[in-house]
Each structure stands twice: as structure tokens, then as C-alpha cells.
Amino acid sequence: MIGDFDYQFFLEVLTGGLLSGVMYSLVAIGFVLIYKTSGVLNFAQGALLLFAALTFVSLVERGVPFALALAVTFAIMVALGIGIERTVLRPLTNKPPITLFMATLGLSYIIEGAAQLIWGTQVHGLELGIEDVPLEVGGVLISQFDIFAAAVAAAMVLLLSLFFRYTRIGLSFRAVADDQFAALAVGLRLPLIWASVWAAAGLVALVAGLLWGARLGVQFSLSLVVLKALPVLVLGGFDSILGAIVGGLLIGASEKLAEVYIGDYFGGGIESWFAYVVALVFLLVRPSGLFGQKLVERV
């Protein structure tokens, strides 16, 4: 059996898995940004992603130039983020984290409903000008679009890291993530910081929404990508951007490999739950996740 092992095919599956893992990471980063600075697990990230993609597509379809549509959508996402912070999260300050999570669950219902009420429920195609053709790299076929997505993700992570490291507001993000009370005590303005974090999460949602939208078509099921991002978060730790990347790669690769190599024993279609099982098994061995803080709430 080992002799027949098709190494080439294995590499192809692995690469495909890693690249789709990048797409999961893109969604997961949006969660991490908000969780790090405000301790909220924002379930509405998927709905935000849907909202961003749907708004952008609808603007483009109405004849708005690409760049302008991008700018307008970004402005809307920032406004939405700030609005959410003001109306939903601020009244719930100091409530238990699980209450905040349920609030974002409600929020995702509102955003999903509103997005489709405003823009309609039909499926939109989204063209980013990158064709989804396979390229041969070192004898392995890789989709050009996947490479583009991976590059965008890498650029975004780089940008975020630079932002966190070198800008003043990035520094205050890190201070808030470290210790909210201490940050407040040295005079950082928490509402301003939270508003900017939500704006940043809106930007991440826009980028992820465009890439996922180009891949799957812009439609309701786009908001379900959060369900793919959650095991990534569990694996990588809710508060680590690096964890989100590595977790995404791990989940993406193991999911594809499992589907191809052991999926048949289960009758196929195991993608819907396999990621969760990987995350759970990993957590049973190492409860703090890959890069999560030891202090996170665990038994």
C-alpha cells in the first residue's frame, strides 16, 4: 500500500488544504482582533463579512467604479463597527463574556436580515479580476486565486503587525489587550480604542468577504464561514493572530487530507465536522490551544 502512495497527489491535496486554511485564517483574524482588545467573541463577524461583500457587489452592479465602491464599503463598515460598539456593546460593559457573545449572536441575526432586506437575497457573482486557473509550481498544481488570497492574507497580517507594533493607537490596543484597568488608569480612552478595533475588524471583514465572495458567490451562506473559523480559533487560541494563522493552516490541511484519504470510510462529506474534532482532540491534550494565553478561562 505504501508503495502505491502517490506523493505528487498528496502534495497537491496538502497545498490545496493549506491555501484554503489561509481563507479560514482570514476570517479568524477578525475574531482575534476584537477578542484581544475587548474580550468579546464576536459571532457577528460572519454577518459583517456577508454585509461587506453584499454591499460592495451591489454598488459595483449599480455602476459604481471598483475603487469608489471599495472606499464606500469601507466607510460603511467603519460606521457600522462604531455603531455596534455604541449601541450594543457599551451598554453591556462589564457583563459576563458569555452574555456579550449572545449579544453578538443577536447582532448577527440583525445584520444578516438587514443585509438581505436592503440588497436582496439573490446570489451575486463577484469578479476581482483574478482568474481561478491552476498554475504549476514545482510540479504541483495550485489555483492562482488561492495564491492571490494567500498573498492578500499575508499582506494583511504584515500590515496589522506593523500597525500594532509601530503606531500609537496600535500600542494602546496592546495595552488594552494586556490589562483593561491599567490601560484606563494611565488615561487611555477605551471607547475610542474599541471603536477603532471594530473599524479594523470591519476592514478585515471586507477583505475576507471579497475573497470568500469571489470564491463562493456573494450569498447568505457566506455568513456561515464563521463556523469554519471557530475551530481555527479554538485550536489557535482566541487571542493570538499567529494562532489564527497556524490554526487555519492546520485545520485546512487536515480537513482536506482527511476528506481525501479517510473520508471514504465514513461515507464522505466529513468536512462539516472534522475541523471540530481536530480542534477538540487537540484541546484535550493541550487545553490552552497553540498560542493562547494560559490565563484564558479553562478548567
Partner 1 sequence: MSAIATQLSPAAALPKWLAPLLLIAFAYVVIPLIGNSYLFEAILLPFLALSLAGVGLNILTGYAGQVSLGSAAFMAAGAFAAYNFNLRIEGLPLVASIILSGLVAAAIGIVFGLPSLRLKGFYLAVSTLAAQFFVQWALTKFSWFSNNSASGVIDAPKLSIAGFEFDGAVGRYLFALTVVVVLTFLAHRLVTSQTGRNFIAIRDNDTAARIIGIPVLKTKLLAFAISSFIIGVAGVIWAFAYLRTVEPAGFDLDRSFQILFIIIIGGLASIRGAFLGAALIVVFPLVLSRLGGFLLGDLFDSGVLDMSQRIVLGALIILFLILEPDGLVALWDRVRRRLTLAWQSS
Residues that bind partner 1 (CB under 8 A): 41, 88, 91-92, 95, 97-99, 101-103, 105-114, 116-117, 121, 227, 230-231, 233-234, 238, 266-270, 272-273, 276-277, 279-280, 283-284, 287, 296-299
Q: What is the dihedral of CA 8, 11, 17, 19, to 10 degrees?
A: -110
- Smallest separation (angstroms) from partner 1 to the CB of 73: 20
The residues with which 134 forms a beta bridge, in sequence order, are: 143
The residues with which 141 forms a beta bridge, in sequence order, are: 136
Q: What is the DSSP secondary structure assignment for residue 142, as one 8-state letter?
A: E
Query: Phi and psi dihedrals of 100, rounded to 5?
Result: -65, -40
The Cα–Cα gap between 26 and 201 comes to: 11
Residue 29 or 203 with smaller CB distance to partner 1: 29
Q: Within 13 A of 104's CA, how many CA atoms are on the CB side? A: 23
Question: What's the angle, vertex CA 203, arms to CA 201 and CA 208, rounded to 5?
Answer: 95
- Smallest separation (angstroms) from partner 1 to the CB of 104: 9
- Smallest separation (angstroms) from partner 1 to the CB of 213: 19
The Cα–Cα gap between 132 and 140 comes to: 15
Residue 107 or 142 with smaller CB distance to partner 1: 107
- Smallest separation (angstroms) from partner 1 to the CB of 125: 20
C-alpha cell at 192: 475610542
Residue 57 or 275 with smaller CB distance to partner 1: 275
* Beta carbons within 8 Å of 67's beta carbon, 6+ residues apart: none
- Smallest separation (angstroms) from partner 1 to the CB of 85: 13
In this structure, are residues 149 and 22 in contact, taking their beta carbons and an 8 Å threshold?
yes
Residue 169 or 216 with smaller CB distance to partner 1: 216
- Smallest separation (angstroms) from partner 1 to the CB of 60: 22
Question: 495564491: which residue's cell?
Answer: 147
The Cα–Cα gap between 82 and 110 comes to: 16
Residue 69 or 279 with smaller CB distance to partner 1: 279
- Smallest separation (angstroms) from partner 1 to the CB of 19: 23
Contacts 24+ apart (CB under 8 A), 130-138: 130/214, 132/215
Residue 165 or 298 with smaller CB distance to partner 1: 298
Residue 175 or 219 with smaller CB distance to partner 1: 219
